């Protein structure tokens, strides 16, 4: 081998690539390609990538880096697209393979992750050279990212980050539902990584101390450090599970569940089933997805909690018995969870919401028929869209005389929290639950109402 060939071989060797972080960048670009171009949910693609795909062999640190690049690329996509449009004189070429995710993730590293320009640019060029469809644009990648490195930070800082990083379809929905000031506050809370919330089986104060977190007024524990969840103290022994503070509210609205028969419709992956079982209820967990029910089973087994598991379509499910209480945490657009799932704005659309509203209506109608007279039904969605929350419940009350709203009272646990509305329902926003400093604050956007069967 000549000297030059040897140099070339070492430049391309996997060992050197690992050292300079190329596999993490390749994983990030592939994940972004799957989400933005193939419209696949990030959690699913991440799962596949880890379980045998392109992240399988990556050291934990590189996986974390790939995830960080993807997260910031999605959160700041509007600002980055603005810059790319400014610097790409002839626009983005068509049929260029992974060129766009390479540029997006390269710019994200330069602008928001403090990666040294020579590293971010060199790796982006090499990624382009690996992709047969993008490789003829390697010089373009170099030129555009150099301009981003030189001029991008000032331009990006001059943009209205909350507005430009929110796709128009969501911005107009939130302005018309909640007004511009709240729409802006919602959007602003999507720009940073959220803290990690846990529900502990017992002793939140103790676990807060042990995990260097803080106990929440909603009953859980909040952490900033996010190593591998499976390696954190308490995970293996089933002392806690991951659940956002707002997501823990609906099950709490059912009050004392000890000894009650409760159906958790749309139960998987089981966060709320676990809360109900822990509160002493005898729970039937229903979900239409076999794969998600398998995860529910694994989660309950780790936690040492029990529930009967039924795979069924809950719009049609009609068992013999009637229940003391039902929790219906319906499938929804998930627009309240964008802090945790920054891919949602690019996967969902107005049309999905129309379709989901129709399914939620059917689920609600069936749920009411499964209740004993006097039984309680909590309906919740992790959506910021009133059509999936407030209006859905108002429409049910208007058409079904056999069900009434059971407003949350101020004197019940959590009843005096600021998110309990005058109507007696719960509405949380991602900017709620303000604690010391933005990094400790926020919660998912949720709606929850408690109803009672009167007829
Ligand atoms: C918001 S998630 C539920 C989260 C769960 N309650 C928790 O706390 O972990 C909605 C669930 O509804 C399920 N689902 C969607 N349509 C359904 C239907 N027609 N019948 C039963 N389950 C359904 C989905 O598989 C998904 O697991």
pLDDT in tens, 30-78: 999 999 999 999 999 988 887 777 787 888 888 899 999 999 999 999 9
Which atom of ligand 1 lies at the shortest distance from residue 269's CA? 9
Q: What percentage of the chain carries pLDDT values higher than 70?
A: 96
- Name the residues annotated as catalytic: 382
* 20 band by pLDDT with thresholds 50, 70 and 90: low
For residue 419, how many other CB atoms are within 10 A of its CB?
21
Which atom of ligand 1 lies at the shortest distance from residue 272's CA? 8
Mutate to test the pocket of ligand 1, among 331, 344, 383, 446 (most ligand atoms within 8 A of CB): 331
pLDDT in tens, 119-151: 999 999 999 999 999 999 999 999 999 999 999
The pTM of this model reads 0.93
Which residues form the pocket of ligand 1, taking CB atoms under 6 Å from any ligand atom? 266-272, 286-289, 292, 313-315, 329, 331
The mean pLDDT value for 12-27 works out to 64
Residue 269: what are its φ and ψ, rounded to 5°? -85, 10
Q: Is the pLDDT of residue 13 over 90?
A: no
Which atom of ligand 1 lies at the shortest distance from residue 268's CA? 27
Distance (Å, whole) CA 314 – CA 355:
16
> Residue 228, by phi and psi: left (phi above 0), alpha (psi -120 to 50) or beta?
beta
Q: Which two tokens stand for residue 289?
A: 């997805």
Mutate to test the pocket of ligand 1, among 41, 43, 248, 266 (most ligand atoms within 8 A of CB): 266
Residue of the CA atom closest to atom 2 of ligand 1: 331
Distance (Å, whole) CA 122 – CA 143:
11
């Amino acid at each position: 081998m000549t000297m030059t060939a040897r140099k070339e071989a070492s430049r391309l060797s996997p060992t050197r690539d690992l050292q300079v972080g190329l596999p993490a960048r390749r994983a990030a670009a592939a994940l972004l390609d799957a989400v933005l171009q193939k419209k696949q949910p990030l959690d699913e693609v991440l799962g596949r990538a880890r379980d045998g795909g392109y992240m399988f062999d990556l050291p934990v640190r590189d996986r974390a880096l790939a995830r960080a690049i993807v997260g910031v690329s999605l959160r700041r996509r509007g600002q980055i697209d603005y810059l790319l449009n400014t610097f790409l004189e002839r626009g983005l070429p068509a049929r260029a393979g992974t060129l766009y995710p390479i540029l997006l993730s390269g710019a994200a590293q330069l602008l928001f992750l403090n990666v040294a320009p020579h590293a971010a640019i060199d790796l982006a060029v090499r990624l382009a050279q690996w992709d047969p469809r993008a490789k003829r644009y390697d010089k373009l990648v170099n030129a555009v990212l150099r301009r981003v490195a030189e001029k991008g930070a000032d331009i990006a800082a001059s943009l209205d980050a909350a507005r430009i990083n929110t796709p128009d379809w969501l911005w107009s929905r939130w302005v018309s539902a909640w007004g511009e000031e709240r729409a802006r506050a919602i959007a602003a809370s999507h720009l940073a990584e959220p803290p990690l919330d846990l529900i502990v089986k017992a002793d939140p104060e103790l676990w807060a101390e042990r995990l260097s977190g803080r106990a929440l007024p909603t009953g859980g524990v909040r952490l900033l450090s996010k190593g591998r969840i499976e390696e954190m103290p308490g995970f293996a022994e089933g002392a806690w599970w991951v659940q956002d503070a707002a997501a823990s509210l609906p099950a709490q609205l059912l009050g004392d569940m000890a000894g009650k028969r409760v159906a958790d419709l749309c139960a998987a992956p089981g966060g709320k089933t676990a809360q109900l079982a822990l509160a002493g209820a005898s729970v039937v967990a229903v979900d239409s997805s076999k794969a998600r029910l398998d995860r529910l089973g694994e989660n309950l087994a780790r936690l040492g909690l029990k529930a009967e598991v039924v795979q069924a379509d809950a719009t049609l499910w009609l068992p013999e018995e009637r229940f003391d209480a039902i929790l219906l945490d319906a499938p929804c657009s998930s627009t309240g969870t964008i802090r945790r799932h920054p891919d949602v704005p690019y996967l969902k659309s107005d049309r999905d919401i129309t379709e989901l509203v129709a399914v939620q209506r059917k689920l609600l109608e069936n749920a009411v028929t499964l209740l004993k007279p006097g039984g309680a039904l909590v309906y919740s969605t992790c959506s910021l869209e009133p059509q999936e929350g407030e209006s859905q419940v108002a429409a049910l009350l208007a058409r079904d005389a056999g069900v009434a709203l059971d407003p949350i009272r101020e004197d019940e646990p959590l009843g005096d929290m600021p998110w309990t509305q005058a109507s007696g329902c719960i509405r949380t926003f991602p900017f709620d639950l303000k604690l010391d400093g933005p990094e400790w604050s926020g919660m998912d956007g949720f709606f929850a109402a408690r109803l009672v069967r009167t007829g």
